[in-house]
Amino acid sequence: MNILIAHSQDDGSLKRFAKRNKEILSLNAIVADKTYYSQAILEYQVIKKIIEKHSQLDTISLKDINDNKHKKNEYIQVSLLPFLTQKQSDSIGLRPCKYILPKKVKDLKSGFQFRHYLFRGENKTALQAFGIINNEFNKNDLYVVIDYIQYQDCSCSELPKIRYAVGVRSEFKISGMSLNKGKDPKINNLNIEKLAANVEFDKLKVDISMKTIGVTGKLARLNIPNNTSFNVQAYGEYVKTIDFIRNSIDNDSVTVQPEIIPVMDEYRTSISDINTSAFDEIFEIQNRYKKYLKKLEKDSNDPIIDSINKVLKTSLLKEVAEKNDKREQLTSIEKDLRSLSRYQSILRFISPREPITKTIIKPIPNDTNKTNSEVKFDYNSLKKDYNDAINLIPKNKKEARVSLMRIYNIKDNYGNAFEILNLLGNDELTTEKIVDIILRSYRWLLNPDTINNLKNSQTKRNSQWNIIP
């Protein structure tokens, strides 16, 4: 049975609420602060802007590995930042990225999710994150948002996770709970079905809002509740909607177009979590030390007792130091991994306040021990040498590899030099296969003439063998 237990509305009790309501919250409840949702919204907006302003859609043909005849099917390929120069890449810390756009339910292969989110009405950031527009909310209102979705995650290096999904989102706004006042304990112990019943008896006010994600069509429209007050009838319609999403989403009469949604279930560390864990461990050492002190003899004239005391104190001191070192290391790593500062340069690029050409370049230090990232490069010269090296591949792979290695030694992250060098070093790959992979996946920074030369080399080889491309 789906039990719902509500308590007072402070942060501690809200977390206890989530912990105790494992049945309704499916052990998946996310009780998060405003920073958590703010980061999710920011990352979502970064992705949306890049896709809207700096992306390109191309129709490509790929072999279907599930088809025994290896029939080629057409897919939409999304290219993010396809026209990014190496100089811009160095400035914002991103590289071009490609992924296949999911168009149907069967393309959503990352999994299913039945997720619950719990927050109070005063958490306006969470309200905005879930698109809840309600002018009549009270800061003490309790919100339970339930997502039932099928999704596909697309990953691009250094960018937030890109999630496409279809499904349904249900929002319950619960008002009027007695919340630890002891007036009616039965109201504080409810399942979703009993929520509806208590609304019928005017014991609670529960509003429900449901919307589909990436699902339209007449069948979908008919399965959305038409009553915003969560009574017994609305409960039946709610169950009907969940069953529809679960069983009929593949129906031909249902129009499916996966939508990009914010990733709300991303695991996000925090310095406070790291500190809390480390401090709890140090307090545990402190308690052990206090117990040992009570057991130790205080005879300072006994060298053995003195030696034991010294070993004990030294050992516990080392243990505390190790715990603190680990805490500091985790804090440092957390700052690097979770820092939002990397998005500042990205946002300046996708929504520039000044011409994009004015990229930020760090000043060159006077010493001779310059790292690769601190050297000013002649990007025009590098691009010419890079294209000349790629043009050599159909003619002489060894010479091409030597030329690319020179570029890699000058700037190890230039274009796709690293990836193409790996291809050239693979003796199992033919020249034709290498060129095919470059044309499909590694076109970044290639001139149109270079691309045409590679295509012509493939056509020429195919014609020599009487192969129809």
Once rounded to an integer, what is the mean pLDDT over residues 361-365? 35
Once rounded to an integer, what is the mean pLDDT over residues 97-115? 89
Per-residue confidence at 365, pLDDT binned at 50, 70, 90?
Answer: very low
CA distance 244 to 168: 10
Residue type, 194: K
Q: What is the DSSP letter of 416?
A: T
| pLDDT score recorded for residue 383 | 94
pLDDT above 90 (res 445) = yes
For residue 155, CA distances in Å to 4, 147, 152, 193, 266 come to 36, 22, 10, 39, 13
Once rounded to an integer, what is the mean pLDDT over residues 171-187? 57
| pLDDT score recorded for residue 187 | 43
pLDDT above 90 (res 465) = no
Higher pLDDT: 157 or 103? It is 103
CA distance 63 to 73: 6
pTM of the model: 0.70
Higher pLDDT: 414 or 218? It is 414
| pLDDT score recorded for residue 15 | 54
φ, ψ at 75 (rounded to 5°) = -130, 160
| pLDDT score recorded for residue 199 | 64
Once rounded to an integer, what is the mean pLDDT over residues 62-79? 71
* 421: helix, strand or coil: helix
For residue 235, CA distances in Å to 93, 137, 194, 230, 426 come to 49, 22, 10, 6, 61
Per-residue confidence at 386, pLDDT binned at 50, 70, 90?
Answer: very high
Least confident window among 20-29, 111-120, 423-432: 20-29
Once rounded to an integer, what is the mean pLDDT over residues 46-70? 78
Tens-place pLDDT, residues 232-249:
676 777 777 777 777 777
Tens-place pLDDT, residues 29-55:
566 667 778 888 888 888 998 998 899
Higher pLDDT: 173 or 14? It is 173
CA distance 296 to 280: 25
| pLDDT score recorded for residue 307 | 84
For residue 458, CA distances in Å to 59, 424, 425 come to 20, 17, 20
| pLDDT score recorded for residue 337 | 72
pLDDT above 70: percentage of residues in the chain = 71
Per-residue confidence at 22, pLDDT binned at 50, 70, 90?
Answer: very low
| pLDDT score recorded for residue 79 | 93
Residue 169 near residue 139 (C-beta atoms within 8 A): no
* 353: helix, strand or coil: coil
Least confident window among 5-9, 30-34, 115-119, 285-289: 5-9
**At how many degrees (to 10) do helices 303-338 and 271-295 cross?**
170
Tens-place pLDDT, residues 322-340:
999 998 888 888 777 777 7
